[in-house]
Structure 1
Amino acid sequence: MSTNKEKLKVAELFAGVGGFRLGLEKSNYEVVWSNQWEPLTKTQHASMVYEARFGAENHSNQDIATVPIEEIPDHDLLCGGFPCQDYSVATTLTNSKGLKGKKGVLWWTIHRILEEKKKKPRYLFLENVDRLLKSPAKQRGRDFAVMLQSLNDLGYAVEWRVINAAEYGMPQRRRRVFFIGYHKSTQLFSRLKSSDKQDWIFEEGTIADAFPVREEQNPVINHFELNNDLVKITKNFNKNGKISPFENTGVMIDGRVYTVKTYASYNGPYKVLGDILQNGEVTQDFFLSEEDKPKWEYLKGAKKELRTTKDGYQYNYSEGGMIYPDPLDNASRTIITGEGGKSPSRFKHVVESDRGLRRLTPVELERLNMFPENHTKLEGITDSKRAFFMGNALVVGIVERIGKSLYKKVF
C-alpha cells in the first residue's frame, strides 16, 4: 500500500468479524473506530474475533444505541451491514426533535450518528439483504423509501445496486444490496447532481466503475419524487402496490429517485465451489454418518405429503428438491447462519469428496466470503459459531472493489 496517499478515515458499525475492514484496508482507508454488539448473547463472540484480529484500540463492544456521539471520532466514511428490520416511523413526537423510528430498529442508530455528528461523514457505504428494496409485503418498497428520504433530509445523495458476487467471478451466489452515500458538501454530490442520471447508473457512478453492467439500448428508467414527509411515506408509500417501484439499481438526489433494472457485465475468470475445497485436509467429523444419510436425502428431496399441526389441523405440504450433493462446477449457494453443526439440514451445503459426502469446513466457508483463512479461528469459538459468522458476513471482494472505486473518485 502506498503511504504517501491521503487515507480516508472509517467508522465501521455492526462490524461482525470485520468484513468491511478487510476489504477497505486493501486500499487507503483507515478504520479509526468500530462497533460490534450482539444483543442476544452474553458472550460477545464476534467482537472477540474482531479484537483478536485488529486489536482492542478504538473498538467498542457496547450497544450502539447507547454510545454517546462524542465518543465516536470524526471520520470520512461510515460503513456497515445493518440488520434488515421494519424501519417504519412511528409518529412525529411533540416532545422530540423530530421523527423517531421503532425502538431497537438499527437503521435509526445510523440516522442518529448522521444527525448528531457536527462534522458529518462525507461518504456512506452500507449493505443489506436485497429484500430491503421490496419490504414490507403490504407496502412494497416503503422501508427503502423511508431510508432514502431520511438520508435526503440529512443532506446525502445515494446510489445503490443489488450485486450477486458470483456474477462477477466470485465463488458464492450471494445477492446483497450495496449503497454509497455522498454528502452535499462533496464534489461527488455535485457531480451526480449535474450528471445525466442514465450515464451515472451505467458508466460514471462508483458502483458502475467497480461492477460494470451491460449497455442497454433505450433503457426505461423509472423516476419519481419522494414525498418529503417521513410520516406520510410511512403511511402511504406504494400502498397496496403489488411490486416495488425500486429496481435493482438506482440513484436518489434531492428527493428524486431514478431507478432501472441492470444486468452484470463480466468476462473474467470464475471461481466455483470446487476451487475452494480443502481436499485431503478435512477431519472425519465433517463427513456424513451412514445413519444420518437417509435424513439428509429426505430433507434435500422433493416432497408432497399430508402434515398435521399441533392443533390437529391437516394440510398438504410440498417443496421442490435440491441438487444433492452441491455441484462443484458452479459457484456455491448462499451461506446461511445455520451452516455449522452435524445435524441434517435442507439448507446446509454437502459436497462429494474422494472420502465420501461431507459438510463444508470453517475455512471453506471463509474462502466463499473471500476472508483470510482461519480469520475466525480463536480459542473458545466453535466451528458452528464460525459458520454463523460467515452466514452473517459479506463477500470481502465486493467491498474491496467498491472501496477502490470510491477512493479513486474522491481523489
Structure 2
Amino acid sequence: MAELNIFSMFDGVGGFTIGFDNADNEYYQTLYSNQYEPSRKTQDAFEVGKYRFPDMEHIGIDVAEIPDKKFQEMKENGVNMIVGGFPCQDYSVAHTGAKGIQGKKGVLFWQIIRATENIKPKYLVLENVDRLLKSPTSQRGRDFAIMLKSFADLGYSLEWRVINAAEYGEAQRRRRVFFFVYRNDTPWAKRVNKKLGSGEVEHLEELGQNPYEDYIFKDGLFARQFPVKQEPVKNRVAEYTLEGDVVDISDNFTGKVFNTGVMHNGHYYTIETAPTGEEKPRTLGDIVQAEADVPEEFYLNDDDKLEKFKYLRGPKKLQRKSADGHEYTYSEGGMSPYDSLDLPSRTMLTSEGSTNRSTHLLKIDGRYRLLTPIEAERLQDFPDDWTKYKLTEDGQVKEVSTRMRMFFMGNALVTGIVSRIGKELKKIDADNE
C-alpha cells in the first residue's frame, strides 16, 4: 500500500489523480473516487474515470447520499488523504434548534467536512475558483472564513495560495486557489506549531520577527514550490482570530482575506503576494497540434460563423432593459481578432468550442479554427486523448462527444500544478522527525 492513499471527491475526469501519479505513483494511490452530475442523464465524466482507472472504486452517486459507514470503510482500508475541486457556493450557516448548526442544502463543502469527520485524513488538498476569497459581495471573505473555522473546529490547520498556472510555467492563464490542510497531530503540524507558537504576532514583531511571514514567504508548502517576492504587495497584510462558532463567523465576520495565507489554531494571517516572475510560461503555440493532424471539422469554413466570432470578440455598446424596466447601456471592450500563439492561452471555460466570446479562436496558415479536444487536454496537462473513451454501465467502451470533452477540460484543473504540490507534500510527509 502507498504512503498516502486518496479519496478523490468531485473527481471530474481524474485531474488530481493524474497530478499525484505524476508526482510519485508509488507514494500516492487513489483508492476511491466520487463523481456525479445531478443534472445529467448520462454520467460521462464518471464513465471516463471507470475507463481510465479500472482498479479504483468509483462511486457514481450524489456525494450527499454516501453513508457515513462508507467513509468509515475508506478509513479502515487505509485512506488518509482527501482531494477535490469543489464549486463556490453560499456557505452561510444558521442555528437550527436541537439540530445545532446547519449549512444550506446542496452546498458541497459540507460534504467535505462530513467526509473529514469520518475519515480523519492526515491531509486534504483542495481547489476552488479564486473568487471564493471575496464572496459574498455583501460580506467579502465570509464564506472563506467559514471554511477556515470549520476545519479549525475539526482539529486542522491550513495554508492557501491563489496560483495562476501561467506564472509557474504552464500554457494557460488559469487562476485558482489551492488549499493544503493538515491535521494538527501530524509531525508537520507539530513543526509548524513550534514556529508559530501561540500566534502572538505583535509581540514577535517587537523582536523583529514574524513567523507567519516566514512561513508564507519561505517555509510553507506553496512557498517552496511556487516562489513569491519576499514582500507584501502594496502592504496588504491582515490577520483575524476566528472566535465563536461558524454561525458567529457567518453573521459577524469583518476580516480581510488576500491571495496567500496560513490558518493556525483558529487564527489566520494573510498577505497579498506576487510571483517572482522567474518562470516563463509555455505558449499556446507550444501545445497546438500539427495542422496536418487537425480534423477539418475544427476549421471555420462558414463565413457567417466567422463573422459571428468577429462580432462577439469586438467592442460593443448595447441598450438593455432590466427586469424592473430600467434602461441602461451595456458596454464591452474589444478582444484581439484571434488568440496569439506567442502567449499562454486565456482561461478555458466549459463552453469552450461553442460560438461565444470566451472560445479560443486560432489563425494558423491563414485559416481560422477552434481548439481540438487534444489541445484542450494539453492546456490542462492531461495526456492526449485522455477523455476520448468511456466505459458505460453495460460494459461497453464508447467514444465521448467533442462537446463533452471540451466541457470536461473547462471544468478541470492544471495537473502540472497538482504534481508540484504532490512533490512537496511527499517531502513534508516523509520527514517525520
Q: Write the letter of the residue equivalent to 1:350.
A: L
Match of 2:359 among 336, 345, 348: 348
Q: What is the match of residue 209 of structure 1?
A: 224
Instruction: Report the alpha carbon displacement of residue 76 of structure 1 after superposing the two structures with TM.
Output: 1.6
Match of 1:112 in 2: 114
Change (3 A) 1:312 1:286: farther
Question: Please, which of 92, 99, 102 is the counterpart of residue 95 of structure 2?
Answer: 92
Counterparts of 2:155 and 2:165, CA distance in 1: 30
Matches within 5 A, 1:379-398: 379-398=398-417
2:10 & 2:225 partners in 1: Cα distance?
24
Residue 254 to residue 217, structure 1, CA distance change in 2 (3 Å):
closer
The TM-score with structure 2 as length reference comes to 0.88
Write out aligned runs for 1:361-400 (5 A).
361-378=372-389, 379-400=398-419
Deviation at 1:217?
A: 7.8
How far 1:177 sits from its partner (Å)? 0.1
Q: Which moved more, 1:325-334 or 1:291-300?
A: 291-300
Given that 2:232 and 2:273 are in contact with CA atoms closer than 8 Å, whether structure 1 keeps it comes out as no
The equivalent residue for 2:42 is 43
2:252 matches 1:236: yes
Residues 316/217 of structure 1: CA separation in 2 closer, same or farther (3 Å cut): closer
Q: Matched residues in 2 for 1:312 and 1:188: separation?
A: 58
* Aligned AA (2:40): T
Change (3 A) 1:308 1:131: closer
Alignment of 1:191-270 (within 5 A): 191-195=191-195, 196-216=211-231, 221-238=237-254, 245-270=256-281
1:70-149 paired onto structure 2 within 5 Å:
70-72=69-71, 73-74=74-75, 75-89=79-93, 91-96=94-99, 98-117=100-119, 120-149=120-149
The answer (yes or no) to whether the contact 1:201–1:208 under 8 Å persists in 2 is yes
Percent of aligned positions with the same letter in both sequences? 47
Aligned mates of 1:47, 1:355 — CA distance in 2:
39
Query: Is 1:19–2:15 an aligned residue pair?
Result: yes
Per-residue deviation at 1:227?
A: 2.1
1:157 maps to 157
**TM-score of the pair, normalised by structure 1:** 0.92
Question: Hey, what's the Cα distance between the residues in 2 that align with 1:47 and 1:168?
Answer: 30
Cα drift, residue 317 of structure 1? 1.8
Deviation (angstroms), 1:169: 1.2
Report if aligned partners of 1:15, 1:35 keep a CA contact under 8 Å in 2: yes
User: What's the counterpart of residue 205 of structure 2?
Assistant: none
- Cα distance in structure 2, aligned partners of 1:77 and 1:311: 49
Structure-2 separation of matches of 1:258 and 1:307: 44
1:95: Cα distance to partner? 3.1
Q: CA deviation at 1:221?
A: 3.5
Runs of at least 4 residues off by over 6 Å = 309-312
Name the CA distance, whole Å, in 2 between partners of 1:310 and 1:269.
Answer: 46
Give the partner amino acid of 2:187. Answer: Q
Measure the CA separation in 2 of the matches of 1:47 and 1:130.
Answer: 26
Q: Which residue of 2 aligns with 1:55?
A: 54
Structure-2 residue corresponding to 1:318: 331
Q: How far, CA to CA, are the matches of 2:82 and 2:277 in structure 1? A: 29
Partner secondary structure for residue 95 of structure 1: helix
* Contact 1:158–1:179 (8 Å) recurs in 2: yes
Shift of 1:268: 3.8
Deviations 1:182-225 (A, max 9, x none): 10110111122222111111111111111111122896632121
The alpha-carbon deviation at position 312 of structure 1 amounts to 7.2
Q: Which amino acid aligns with 1:94?
A: G
| 1:292 and 2:311 correspond | no
Letter in 2 for 1:235: D
Match of 1:241 in 2: none
Q: Which moved more, 1:152-161 or 1:273-282?
A: 273-282
SS of 1:191's equivalent in the other structure is helix
Matched with 1:278 is: 289
- 3-state SS in 1 of match to 2:224: helix
Match of 1:327 in 2: 340
Unaligned runs of 5+ in 2: 196-210, 390-397
Q: Cα offset for 1:287? A: 1.3
Residue 104 of structure 1 aligns to which amino acid in structure 2? G
Q: Check conservation: 1:76, 1:122, Cα contact below 8 A.
A: yes
In structure 2, what is the Cα distance between the partners aligned to 1:151 and 1:52? 34
What secondary structure is seen at the aligned counterpart in 1 of 2:29?
Answer: strand
Cα shift at 1:230: 0.9
Deviation for aligned residue 1:308: 5.2
Deviation (angstroms), 1:269: 4.4
Give SS of 1:298's match. helix
Structure with the higher fraction of residues in helix conformation? 2
* SS of structure 2 residue aligned to 1:25: helix
How far apart are residue 340 of structure 1 and its match?
A: 2.6
Q: Aligned pair count?
A: 396
> Displacement, 1:149?
0.2
Q: How many angstroms does 1:303 deviate by? A: 0.7
3-state DSSP class of the match of 2:190? helix
Q: Deviations over 1:58-79 (max 9, x none)?
A: 1111111111122231222110
